[in-house]
Structure 1
Amino acid sequence: MGFPDRVPNELWGEILGNVNEHDRPTFQKISLSCPAFLPVSRPFLFSAIRLTPYRIGNDGDLLLPPPAEVDRHLKRLEFWCSSKIAPLVRSCLIHPLDSYTGRDVSKWSSSTDTPNILLDSLFQRLDHFTGLQRLHASRIHFTQARVDMLSHLPKLFELHLSGCAVAPGEHIETSPHVLRIPNFSLCHDSKSDPADNYWFPLLQPDQLRVLRSDFALGRTTDTISSFPNVQTLEAIMHRQTPSQYSRALSNFPAVRILKLWGKGLHTDAVVPDAVAIFPVLEEYYGPHEALPLFLAATTLRRVQTKCARSEDLVTRIQGKHGRNIISFNVELKTLNVTIFNKIVEHLPQLTELLITCGVSNLDSMFTRVVYDARKVPKDAVVDGRFGDEVRMGFKPSTFFLKLADVPFLPPALERLAISWDCYNQESCFELSAYMVPDFSQMRDALVARCPGLNWLWLNGIYFRFEWRDSMPDGTVKEFTAKNFMDAYVQWGEIFYGWEVL
């Protein structure tokens, strides 16, 4: 008995589950390496099918490859629909051929008779994929028959549609609640019309758990039914009034995670009571203008937002609300000790505070210029770049030197990250003088005030301090042009799991 035979197939399945699902060459090699691996690797090898049914021409015509290639695709589809392979398929991706793929498309041409021959062939056999769980379709036309086929897929739990439309001359019957799909995403293109949306009435309200839509909910209220079990909602908020969004969002009373994009609310509008909208909201990601809508929810624990003017952010979080938030992630254009004080005073229960201050011009980080390098303090660092002037008064240094002495810090604070990011560091050719704070002393002072503090990340463009309770001394690193981008990538990795706004 060989080694593969002594290990249960279930264990091999767990091991192969760590391989990237799109890495077909690896699964092919595994399946050919040993007879015992064939039944184990086959479910992974045939778990996903991808179809390119046509290419969209510049004038919108559907272009097909030469007839020989169409025949080859049809034969390949027959193989995938066979009784031994079809039940293994778990996901299906349908999208037109992109012009930048590098494939030779010179022989692709329009077909007035059968432009949808490949797409029709797939949908006619789609019910063979009895284990299909995820279907992603991009820029395809739907007919009544294709919509009906979706309703006959017993295992389908995720449907993602991007830039899809109704086929010319077709009409989709909005038969209520025919799609029992827990996870639904809808993205439109510039030619889509939210008023003609027919997907929401097709969804089974009790089944839906996750809804993503880039249609502004405030403009599609009439087409949205009540979805009492949606827990994750992603949508557009584009200059609507609170009353418009209150009507739309009230259709989702069970939302726990809310993600909004767009330009937010009218800033001069009156904000209603958030508790009536989302009584169990736990996480909010979106524009700062909408924060007053949701801060009153006593269940809200986690917030991520961005704001061009720090004063606007403070205005929206001040007051009695927000006292239960434990994690706050914000991107600002300016940051000083006064703004920091107001943020932590209004959010006293924080255990995690992550602040990014993005600047486009490094000159804005200095307050004055001297012409004589001998006037630079002895404990300052000069970056050594070419120039006759020396810029001083580096704002991140000033901030970090005062950080440990701010009037208030959340006593339960465990994670603190403050980072200045300069998107054009090489724009200035003058010498820069900056102070590197005594981060070890600062860490000790912060831990004394916040005993639970176990992680610090303080990035001042020219220097960075990182400390965890597992590395008691911490590390201080001065940045140069060479390692600036490395540090920027590391900062992005810190926020893995947070949404990109």
Structure 2
Amino acid sequence: MSAFPAELLLKIFGNLQKESPDSLRAVSASSREFSRVARPIVYSELRFSAYKPKNGTMSKKAFQRMDLWTSETVAPLVRTCIISRGVWGINASEASLNGLLAVFLESIGRFSGLRSLVIRDVALERHLSEIFHLLPRLEELDVELVYAKEPALFEPKVVAGTGLRSCKLKLGLKDGLQAFLPFFRPESLVQLSLECKLQSWAKQAGDIPTFPKVSVLCLGGGAAEDTIALLPKFPAVRELTFAVRDLDISDFSARVFGPMLQTVKKADVPGVLVPFFLQNAPNLTHVKLSDAELSSETILTMLQQSESRNVVSVELYLNMPDAAILSALIAAFPQLEELHFQAYDGGMLCDYGGAQFGDARKSFLDFLAGLGEHATATLPATLKSLMITWYSDEGLDDEENWRWMVELPEPWGDGPREGEPHTRAEVPAYLRSTRDAILARLPALTSLWLDYPPVLVTWRREAPNAPVLHESFVYRPGQPVPQIGPKEFWASR
């Protein structure tokens, strides 16, 4: 057993932990050597729920398990703790604490190695102070509060340790941000995401220190004047995301953003501000437009006013996409390497009898493939990743149901029944030819995702001249589908 390097065992155990934590515990108990290496992984992540239905009961086993995790021998091994609400689909008034949170908080000082704490809609009350003072090695704090009431304010004491590197807060509270401000330490904070009301913090702008190490900043849900007051406090941001209410473009100037304009490389900002960033942020390489409220006309106008040879990655949400927008986008960013569309055309993508597509949609795809009237259209030869996901009026949720499949009549059947539309059997063939044409036009392409319900096309290779690692063409319910969603596919490009 000693011949196995610890690094190899850790890799084996790490994969096993992802598949089955119980199996890993059984293996770790099989010998001392396995136990020595596996024990830190077995107990590296603690998950538990804090609530139960008001009339529900907790098992004795649940408390025994929590006693083990909070013991002096196990608690120091925990690196990540995820505390969820645990009761979904019932009103907040019908839920009550189940006692596990109290056990955890009573022993919180034992979690000396905890690096990451995730809290999902759990009432913290006065315990935020304990998290601050008793977890000195905590580096990541991710809190979402919707039903839970505001945590109590506390007076911070001097705390030894590295301080938070990442803080993500999503607060549906009137003024919940105030209680978390002691966690914002300029000497350590690198990533800050605030989806909450910013007014109370912005009012203190004159007393707020500068955060010179924050490179990833997200400000959402605040009024424009609050965002404007806070932006100058982050001079070294490389990735910027913000959304504001009642946006007046005249309120935003180079003075508002300050030195940040020289460092920002990735921006997800209101569409009307994109031309401003392209003109004033010389190092900007990645642009994302996630505002679903922008009309196609607005996006087209924005693109026609934009130009940058530095931008290599674009992600955008399109209402009623057409070839004109695609043409303007390529003209604005001729050196594109990554292009990600989330498209919505305002109508159903499929009907009961089969797939149907409008002229605008077909023109959009013809442009990509260089077919028909778009035979002379050109695409950037630098393009490496192309991803298109179409949405419909059917309430498609890409988090849970990222593909919407419909039954298609068999092409060898006796034809449609009375009242049924004819089968559009040419749709899969058209999309297959579109895929082949796109691949032929883009020799540098390494990732392709074309989700056009009910058809899903995926294709991937590691490098332009490398063999194909994966390809699929799914157009019938029951066919094997890739075990990966669009977000994971894009992230792994």
TM-score (norm 2): 0.73
Structure with the greater alpha carbon radius of gyration: 1
Q: How many residues align?
A: 444
In structure 2, runs of 5+ residues without a counterpart are 395-404, 408-418
Alignment of 1:83-102 (within 5 A): 83-98=72-87
Contact residue 264 and residue 287 of structure 1 kept, 8 A: no
Shift of 1:136: 2.4
Alignment of 1:145-224 (within 5 A): 147-148=129-130, 150-163=132-145, 165=149, 171-173=153-155, 180-189=163-172, 192-194=173-175, 197-217=178-198, 220-223=201-204
Contact residue 183 and residue 209 of structure 1 kept, 8 A: yes
Q: Deviations over 1:306-338 (max 9, x none)?
A: 444222123334435544210112221212221
Contact residue 303 and residue 328 of structure 2 kept, 8 A: no
Contact residue 200 and residue 223 of structure 1 kept, 8 A: no
Q: 1:171 to 1:497 in 2, by over 3 A?
A: same
Task: Write the distance in 2 (CA, Å) between the matches of 1:52 and 1:482.
Answer: 35
Contact residue 258 and residue 284 of structure 1 kept, 8 A: yes
Local SS of the residue matching 2:179: coil
Please state if 1:327 is matched with 2:308. no
Contact residue 54 and residue 64 of structure 1 kept, 8 A: no
Q: 1:227 to 1:359 in 2, by over 3 A?
A: same
Task: Write the distance in 1 (CA, Å) between the matches of 2:459 and 2:51.
Answer: 53
Task: Write the distance in 2 (CA, Å) between the matches of 1:184 and 1:440.
Answer: 42
Shift of 1:356: 3.1
Task: Write the distance in 1 (CA, Å) between the matches of 2:322 and 2:489.
Answer: 22
Shift of 1:36: 2.5
Shift of 1:465: 6.2
Q: 1:149 to 1:414 in 2, by over 3 A?
A: closer
Task: Write the distance in 2 (CA, Å) between the matches of 1:117 and 1:439.
Answer: 58
Q: 1:385 to 1:305 in 2, by over 3 A?
A: same
Q: 1:218 to 1:254 in 2, by over 3 A?
A: farther
Alignment of 1:363-378 (within 5 A): none
Q: 1:14 to 1:466 in 2, by over 3 A?
A: closer
Deviates more, 1:409-418 or 1:226-235: 409-418
Correspondence for 1:442: 437
Task: Write the distance in 1 (CA, Å) between the matches of 2:127 and 2:379.
Answer: 61
- The match for 1:30 among 27, 31, 38 is 27
Contact residue 47 and residue 88 of structure 1 kept, 8 A: yes
Alignment of 1:24-103 (within 5 A): 24-52=21-49, 55=52, 57=54, 65=57, 69=60, 77-98=66-87
In structure 1, runs of 5+ residues without a counterpart are 58-62, 102-107, 366-382
Shift of 1:149: 5.1
Local SS of the residue matching 2:281: coil
Contact residue 392 and residue 432 of structure 1 kept, 8 A: no
Correspondence for 1:479: 475
Percent identity, aligned pairs only, is 22
Please state if 1:430 is matched with 2:430. no
Local SS of the residue matching 1:258: strand
- The match for 1:312 among 298, 314, 317 is 298
Correspondence for 2:413: none
Shift of 1:194: 2.4
Deviates more, 1:247-256 or 1:193-202: 193-202
Q: Deviations over 1:183-228 (max 9, x none)?
A: 2122223xx2227622124421111111122114466313563322
- The match for 2:323 among 337, 347, 351 is 337
Correspondence for 1:412: 382
Shift of 1:360: 5.0
Q: 1:303 to 1:55 in 2, by over 3 A?
A: same
| Equivalent position amino acid for 1:88 in 2 | L
Q: 1:481 to 1:319 in 2, by over 3 A?
A: same
Task: Write the distance in 1 (CA, Å) between the matches of 2:286 and 2:130.
Answer: 40
Please state if 1:288 is matched with 2:279. no
Shift of 1:160: 2.2
Aligned residues: CA RMSD: 4.4
TM-score (norm 1): 0.72
